[in-house]
């Protein structure tokens, strides 16, 4: 694996500079059934196609961001900065 990934800050860099943090998951709010919890904690879609996932430019600027990557080709179609929950909710939950 040697593809280049676009850091939102530093530009195109070798993928080994980044830490991969897996698919974007949905965390249950409040309480969750065992099934919901298990799905959130352990189940992954593992798609052969475009997937939204977390990355951090670990040995670079340290920024966390989201990438849309085609898992078949490693082509990264888009990157964006995360929208924190609290910003989305207007500062309160």
Give the span between the Cα atoms of 75 and 50, in whole angstroms.
9
Q: Which of 84, 49, 83, 87 is nearest to 68 (CA)?
A: 49
Candidate residues 64, 68, 71, 79; the one interacting with other proteins per rule CB under 8 A: 64
Give the span between the Cα atoms of 70 and 36, in whole angstroms.
27
**Least distance between other proteins and beta carbon 48 (Å):** 17
Nearer to other proteins by Cβ, of 3 and 47: the residue is: 3
Q: Which of 48, 1, 55 is nearest to 23 (CA)?
A: 55
**Least distance between other proteins and beta carbon 79 (Å):** 14
Region 20-49 residues binding other proteins, contact defined as CB under 8 A: 21, 27-28, 31-32, 34, 37, 40-42
Residues 6+ apart with CB under 8 A from 37: 28
Q: Which residues bind other proteins (CB under 8 A)?
A: 1-4, 9-11, 13-17, 19, 21, 27-28, 31-32, 34, 37, 40-42, 54, 56, 58-64, 74, 82, 84-87
């Amino acid at each position: 694996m040697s593809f280049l990934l676009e850091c939102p800050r530093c530009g195109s860099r070798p993928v080994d500079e980044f830490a991969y943090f897996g698919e974007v998951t949905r965390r249950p709010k409040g309480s969750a059934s065992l099934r919901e919890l298990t799905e959130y904690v352990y189940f992954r879609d593992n798609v052969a196609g475009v997937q939204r996932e977390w990355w951090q430019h670990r040995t670079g600027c340290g920024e966390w961001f989201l990438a849309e990557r085609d898992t078949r080709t490693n082509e990264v179609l888009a990157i964006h900065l995360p929208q924190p929950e609290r910003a989305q909710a207007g500062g309160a939950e």
